[in-house]
Every structure is written in C-alpha cells, then in structure tokens.
Structure 1
Amino acid sequence: MICGVEIIFLIAAIFSLNFELCFCSCARTEYEIDGQCCPMCTPGHRVYKHCTVETSTTCVSCNDSTFIDAPNGLIDCFSCTVCDSGQGLRVKIPCTQSSDTVCEPLDECYCIEQHRGSCIQAVKHTNCSTGQYIKHKGTTFKDTECAECADGTFSDGSFQTCQPHSKCEDLGLKEIKAGTHSSDAECGNKTPVALIAAILVSVIIPVAVAVAVIVIMLRHPHSNSHAEQCGLNPASCGDNIAGQSLLNK
C-alpha cells in the first residue's frame, strides 16, 4: 500500500516533468535549435542566422527560382517546379518567393497525376479513328471519348457528329463511289446524250472516210498509178492518151 508521503512525492515528480516539458516546448511561430526557441521566418524567406539569447532570427528573401510557402526555420529555400512540355505540361501560375509553380496540361493533353493543385504528369488526348466521332471532347482532367458512326453516315475522326452520306441522285449527279463509315459518297456529272453523239460522230465519220478511200484504192490500183504518172509528167500523159485513142479506132 502506497503511503501518503510517496503519493505526494509522485505528484511532485509529475508536476516537475510537465513544467520542464512546457518550458522546453516552443510556440507555434517558433522553431527549436540547440535547445533554444527562435522566431520563424515568414513565407518567402529563409533563416540567415539563428537567434541567440540577445538577438532574434535573421531572415533573408528566397533567391530567384526558389520559394518557401510557410513559416519556417529552414536555411535553404525549395527549388521551383519546372513545367516540362515533354510531360505535356505548361505554366498555369508562375513561381514566386512564397509559392511554387502551378502546372497545367497542354491544350491537347489531360492530367493523369496531380499534387497540391498542380498537375505533375499529363498525356495526349485520344485521337478518334476514321469511322468514329467525338462523343465527348477531352478536358483538362478527362480523355476524349469516341463512338462508332451509324450506317449511312461517316466521319474522318475529327467530327463531333457523324455526317450523312451525300445522295447523288438528289443532287442530279451520278454516284461514282459508295460512301463508307470513314468517307462520303463520291458523285459525278451524268454524261449528256448530245455529248455522246458528238463523240461518236467525231470518231465514226473520219474512220468511215478513211475506210472508203482505202477500198477505192484497192479496187482501182492502175487508175491510181496512171494518175500519179500524169501528175509527174503531163506531156507524156497527153501522148499516151492520144495513142490509146488511135488504138481504140
């Protein structure tokens, strides 16, 4: 059984321990160094010299491209985050002495990992394939959602809705190539009857004339030879004609 003296001694020991703990604990705006509590530096500043019994903490501003965003007892500032375009990032809010850089995804990217309100990694939005349309456009934190085109419509992958195939007959044209899910129907002009007739005439008539000339030449080879001789020597041609006349008599 514990006597009254021992109880009093135990209470005194606990009180003494609490007093020492309270005495050694620094305030929320202080930091402990070598058993002494020193005032913290404000955000954007770092410790240049720790406090002493006679002097307070000496603080200096963070250098360029460095920061500290909270009251502190640090002797070095943190390096500002670099938004790497190779990671699909760009600067949203520049770094200051009291705050780090805030990064965001590039226009064609979306964030897949973030820390304290800043994106630290992004990837490119999905490009919809031909035959698909953009059902939901990609955002800063969400990828693009694609969907297949229905029959009778098409998309090259960049449309937000599939487009209906052109109806060539309604346009007074002829369908040259049927449409697919990835391309429109191809239409062309119908060939006019008059144009067809003109083409046939321009081809058939010269051919017919050439054939007729060849046939005549094949049937009367001597006449052709005689005509050629007369053309070369008209005088002899006249003598031959006269002689031929005498023989006929």
Structure 2
Amino acid sequence: MQDFIMGSGYYNILATVLLVMNFERTRPMQDSCSKCPAGTFCEKNKDHICIACPSNSFSSTSGQRACDICRQCEGVFRTKKMCSPTSNAECECISGFHCLGERCTMCEQDCEQGQELTKEGCKDCCFGTFNDQKHGTCRPWTNCSLDGKFVLVNGTKERDVLCGPASSDFFPRTTSATIPAPARDPGPTSQILIVFLALMSAAVLFLVFFLALRFSIVKHSRKKLLYLFKRRVRDVVKTVRKVSRATHGVASSVTVAQYPNRAVDIGVSCVHSCLSPDHVRGLA
C-alpha cells in the first residue's frame, strides 16, 4: 500500500514538470500573437505574422487566431450598422416588427395598442387588462383599493385605470357637487292618459270615415231617385198623351202637338197630385 502511494506521488511530480516545460515552450508563440491588434489575426506558422481580416470578416479583440464571419441581415432583418474589420454588423427589424434580445437575434410582429401577440396573431386585450405599447403582453388594471384609493378614470384596453384619493379628500370642502335630480317615473296616470288620447284619436278617425261614407251613400241615393223620378214623369207624359188622343179626338191631338210644353206641365201636375211621398220613396 505504501509503495502504491509513493508511485502515485512520483507520477504527479512528473506530470507537473512536463506541464511547466510545455508552458515555457509555447509562451513565446502566445506573446507574439498577442501583439496582433483587432482587425487582424495571427497566422499559424513559426513566424506568427499578423494578417488583416479578409472581406466580410472581423476580429474585435487582439491576439485572435482567426477572424469571425460578419452577420448577414436578411429576411425580416435590415442592416443597422455595416460590418467593419473590428466590429460585427448590427441588424434591426423591418417595419411592423420589433427586436427580441439584446442583440436583436429575433423579430416579433408588432400589434396595435390594446392588443397582444398570440399564436393565432394579434388579439385584443381581455376586459380588465391593457397594453399601451405595440409589443409586449396585456397587463391587468391597477387595483386602486389595495392602496386605499378609488378609481377616478376607468381603464380601457389601451390605458390603465387612474387611481386617486376619495372625492371628499380630492376636492376642496368649500365646493359642493351638484347632484342631478333623479328622473321621475311616468307612473300609471301618464300611461292611462296616453291610452285615452290614443283611443280618442281612433274614435275621431272612425267618425270622419263614417260621415264620409254616409255622405257618399246619400248622394248616390239622391241621384238614383232623381233618375227614377224623371223616368216616371216621361211615362206619365206618354200616358197623358194617349188619354188625350182617346178622349178629345183629333183636336186634342193637334193641341198637344202645338203646345208640347203645356202637355208636359199637365203631366207633371198630375204626377204631383197623384203620387204620394210613400210612392216616391218606393221608386228609389
């Protein structure tokens, strides 16, 4: 057991010596590469010459063994700063997108105020939340009661609530708020009056319609009665002429022919004397 421990100690000492010798051998090479400034790299040969970085590459620190490839701003990225021999290119997002991360490694779609970006796209903030920026997520409204305050202005999906002290503390005591009188309920009386006026209007319209209809019927009846009466008079005149011819002979016929108007007057007089009012109404 003791021999094993001594052997292990020997190997440890040997490994330490070899490590020191290797460090001393490589230190001149490290010292020579450290002299290469940013924008160059140290070539891997015995001379350790500093060579300028080629196009589309850079070295931001001294002593680099190789230059780094410049970043390409493509797709949703656009160039904010061009690549140089000592610094990498800087990118930014195109219009309608915003950067994620310190170095703008990703672009995220912009949304309108009052919205947030989800897997399905831009969605409106739910009730009780808001977002006053074009990026980020919807945040809940401030709970004014936790600080012993009251809500002065209600929140929206674009703005947070505005908290403040109670109205008695916020406004001077010398001023008094004017409280509007409550609106009066119309009550049953007003409703009954409205119904009564509606019924009266309907009754007036019905009465006007009835009178117009009655007047039309009476006017039509009078025209019909007058027509029947004239027709009856003609029949009576014809009858009178026939009777005159039969009773008075040729002389009477000549008289009637010479004085036709007088014959008509005789017939009308006969009608007025012979026809009763009931008979006239029956003709209608």
Considering fraction of residues, name the structure with more strand. 1
Q: TM-score, normalised by structure 2?
A: 0.36
Which is higher, the Rg of structure 1 or of structure 2? 2
Q: TM-score, normalised by structure 1?
A: 0.39
Considering fraction of residues, name the structure with more helix. 2
